[in-house]
Amino acid sequence: MRYISTRGGMPPKTFTEILLSGLAPDGGLAVPESYPRVSPADMEAWRHLDYQALAFQILSRFMEDIPADDLHRIIARTYTTEAFGSPDITPVRTLEPGLHILCLSNGPTLAFKDIAMQLLGNLFEYTLAKTNDELNILGATSGDTGSSAEYAMRGKRGIRVFMLSPLGKMSRFQTAQMFSLLDDNIFNIAIRGVFDDCQDIVKAVSNDRDFKQQYQIGTVNSINWARIAAQIVYYFKGYFAVTQSNDQQVSFSVPSGNFGNIFAGHVARMMGLPIKHLILATNENDVLDEFFRTGLYRPRTTAETHHTSSPSMDISKASNFERFIFDLTERDATRVRELWRSVDKGNAFDLFGTALWIKAKDFGFVSGASNHASRIETIRNLYQEYKVLVDTHTADGVKVGLEHREPGIPLICMETALPAKFAETIQEAVGIEPSRPAGFENLESLPQRFEIMDKDANAVKTFLVQKIKHH
Ligand SMILES: *Cc1c(COP(=O)(O)O)cnc(C)c1O
């Protein structure tokens, strides 16, 4: 299997060739030349596999240039009971017949991003070792992505992480989670500014091509294909857990921001997994809900982007969405290029009334949005009815999922973070403190290490050079 760009300007490449790169050279996103199809015999055999064996079956189809033995080892090292809390890795919790939560948040940082990021850490280390290369990951975070990346890359040979965050703007829990990492390949840089200032610095450094090349600067953002591939696995795992036979359909409800998680569900469906609906749930930042309701895709400005009680979904545009439009246009790179010529300038496109919009119905997407009040109400209802506590992101998915629930079709709601990360909102909803998993009790009192810097790209570059040369 080889990879092409959604904008048609990249000669086909192997998986390891696209693993470490961000955008394709033409500005598009890497996608497989075609999706592998899963046969009825595969489905029959896969139903009985444990997480690691299932992951191998799925990932090996996307990572053909990694030798099978090596991929087995990488998967075994990644998906351990120790790292994810149970041998199931993504266990299902059944609230009542036909209503389930797929628990994706028992990894090291208590959010679903760990499932993909932990694999990415091991894949990066493996491929860098083969070529004797180094990688310096530069990123900006306002919460989950940064800590998930750091926990995946800590202690990895050939990799350093430089993570910018807005000084004093993250929750105490999130700050402690990142800043208490004392590994010598992890560098936390707290910027005197807001998240957008951090992102601007990352952009400025990445746009300096010579610097980027000389110091082997890379990223780990949500457009990385390996992250999508890793997320496909739990759609299959969740399906097998709640069905008895492979002719049954299920629907998934997915709290969405950058369209990475639900896009993995789309790929699973294209591979042949019997998914009836992919229920896309947004918070007040409803760019994607608006598209799936009306056909209008309108990226927001920073000023129009709300800070919500589900902060990991506070996005102004959805970076993986271009991949879906590529499939919707039957992989017409010219059309994608035209549409994104306008998106890249911050403009909208509207498919309403076109043949594409009619065709969009065939992909199983439906959508809805939550607001703070409806998330609080959902958290409270689930607690009262089932004695189950969910976080604000998961609540968003459950709220919208229930609106689209159909008789006879099991509904699987993705749990994308644990309530312990958002204790304040849980207090507001149900008046109790969510319990913390073992090992997190004293997080905020652990020693912390971080640099404080002004919002100055040159100062950050100087810091990077100094650390890269001396570590
Ligand atoms: C990242 C994140 C999301 C959104 O996932 P996307 O793949 O960006 O759509 C939802 N919930 C939580 C807790 C997250 O960290």
Are 237 and 57 a contacting pair, CB within 8 Å? no
Confidence at residue 385, expressed as pLDDT on a 0 to 100 scale? 98
Angle between helices 144-153 and 113-131 (to 10 degrees): 40
315 C-alpha to center of ligand 1: Å?
10
* Mutation test residue for ligand 1: of 109, 142, 178, 258, the one with most atoms within 8 Å of CB: 258
- Tell me the CA distances in angstroms from 327 to 3, 29, 161, 324, 391, one per residue in order: 14, 12, 34, 5, 32
Q: Which residues are near ligand 1 (CB < 6 Å)?
A: 111, 113, 144, 222, 255-261, 312-313, 393, 416-417
Confidence at residue 143, expressed as pLDDT on a 0 to 100 scale? 74
* Mutation test residue for ligand 1: of 170, 261, 370, 414, the one with most atoms within 8 Å of CB: 261
d(CA 149, CA 161): 8
* Mutation test residue for ligand 1: of 101, 102, 113, the one with most atoms within 8 Å of CB: 113
Closest CA to ligand 1's atom 14: 312
Confidence at residue 406, expressed as pLDDT on a 0 to 100 scale? 98
Confidence at residue 221, expressed as pLDDT on a 0 to 100 scale? 79
User: Which residues in the chain show pLDDT less than 70?
Assistant: 471
Nearest to 417 by CA among 437, 442, 443: 437
Which strands sit side by side in the sheet containing 217-218, from one edge to the other? 217-218, 135-140, 159-166, 186-192, 451-454
Report helix, strand and coil shares of the chain as percent, to nearest 5.
45, 15, 35
Confidence at residue 335, expressed as pLDDT on a 0 to 100 scale? 97
Closest CA to ligand 1's atom 7: 260
321 C-alpha to center of ligand 1: Å?
14
* Tokens matching residue 348: 């909208």
d(CA 423, CA 334): 47
Q: Which atom of ligand 1 is nearest to the CA of 417?
A: 13
d(CA 198, CA 208): 16
pLDDT digits (tens, 9 = 90+) for 185-231: 999 999 998 888 898 899 899 889 899 999 999 888 789 999 999 99
- Read off the amino acid at residue 228: I
Q: Which of the residues 113, 276, 317, 461 is marked catalytic?
A: 113
Q: Which helix (H) or strand (E) holds 349?
A: strand 349-350
pLDDT digits (tens, 9 = 90+) for 223-270: 999 999 999 999 999 999 999 999 999 999 999 999 999 999 999 999
113 C-alpha to center of ligand 1: Å?
7
High-pLDDT (> 70) share of the chain, %: 100
Q: Which atom of ligand 1 is nearest to the CA of 256?
A: 9
Catalytic-residue membership of 13: no
Q: Which atom of ligand 1 is nearest to the CA of 319?
A: 8
Cβ count near 3 (within 10 Å): 20
pTM for this one? 0.96
* Mutation test residue for ligand 1: of 223, 235, 309, 312, the one with most atoms within 8 Å of CB: 312
260 C-alpha to center of ligand 1: Å?
8
* Tokens matching residue 64: 């053909």
Confidence at residue 302, expressed as pLDDT on a 0 to 100 scale? 83
Q: Which DSSP category does 301 fall into? A: P
Confidence at residue 471, expressed as pLDDT on a 0 to 100 scale? 65
21 C-alpha to center of ligand 1: Å?
21
**Partner residues linked to 5 by β-bridges:** 30
394 C-alpha to center of ligand 1: Å?
10
234 C-alpha to center of ligand 1: Å?
15
Closest CA to ligand 1's atom 8: 258
Q: Which atom of ligand 1 is nearest to the CA of 113?
A: 15
* CATH fold of the domain at 92-110+230-430: Rossmann fold (3.40.50)
